[in-house]
Amino acid sequence: MINFTARRKRPCGKSGESSRALFPALLLTAILLVQAAPSLAAGAGFDLPALHFNLDEAKAPQQITGVLQIIFLMTIISIAPSILILMTSFTRFAIVLSFLRQALGTQQAPPNQVLVGLALFLTFFVMHPTWQRVHQEAIVPYQQQKISSEELINRGMVPIKDFMLKHTRTGDLALFVSISQKEKPQNADSLSIATIIPAFVISELKTAFQIGFMLYIPFIILDMVVSSILLSMGMMMLPPVMISLPFKLMLFILVDGWNLLIGSLVKSFH
């Protein structure tokens, strides 16, 4: 059996409902804080709670169940990045921002860390209503001991399935229903999560590529104009990309590109 005991010298404050709704984000943040806690505590001059690990023989079925719950929790934490990427709006944001950088031709500006961070926080913003529903419909009743853990999972998946179905094309759903070789469902709500997730992913990929294509058009036209001017002037040895880059940046700034792009991406999920 694994027994966890902790002694705290300072009580922790209670979080608001809106904060608990962002449980996936807070869980990842908590993991990072736990890793950095020893060095931070040494510099601040205060003691951390004592944490003891005991491996004893299980004497009751409930103790074995606790061990299985811990293993299940560690498994969920390990696949959390995949869940965040494949079951949320992160895929669309990350791909479109990557296409934008390539269309501008700025190489590594903005860097990958900035693009991934921006896509991550935009994902939190878009998914907040869905996570709020999960909190209200599943987590709160479970904390009040009104539902079982199995019912918690079933209720928590409903808002997430609704979000994915809303942004999944019918043709993509039909593809995976036919591949699964199962009976045709009466409605979309009866589809399994294993069918919805891949259909949602390829729908997001298609949408992201369509937006990326639209982003490329004005910048390609500008490249063609600059290349034609340089060719007519006989400057064949001068790379057209070097000349067109400042004009691309100026065009993007004049039209307030970041505001238009981010606003359009966020509104595409409403």
pLDDT at site 59: 56
In 3D space, the residue among 247, 6, 43, 18 whose CA is nearest the CA of residue 129 turns out to be: 18
pLDDT at site 185: 73
In whole angstroms, what is the distance from residue 165 CA to residue 178 CA?
17
Q: Decide if 94 contacts 72 (C-beta within 8 A).
A: no
In whole angstroms, what is the distance from residue 22 CA to residue 51 CA?
26
Q: What is the pLDDT of residues 179-189, one digit of tens each?
A: 877 777 777 77
Mean pLDDT score, 33-54:
45
- Name 5's bridge partners: 52
Does residue 65 have a pLDDT over 90? no
Bigger pLDDT: 64 vs 204: 204
In whole angstroms, what is the distance from residue 149 CA to residue 155 CA?
10
Task: Classify the C-alpha dihedral 255-259-261-263 as positive or negative.
Answer: negative
Does residue 163 have a pLDDT over 60? yes
Mean pLDDT score, 10-17:
43
Mean pLDDT score, 61-66:
52
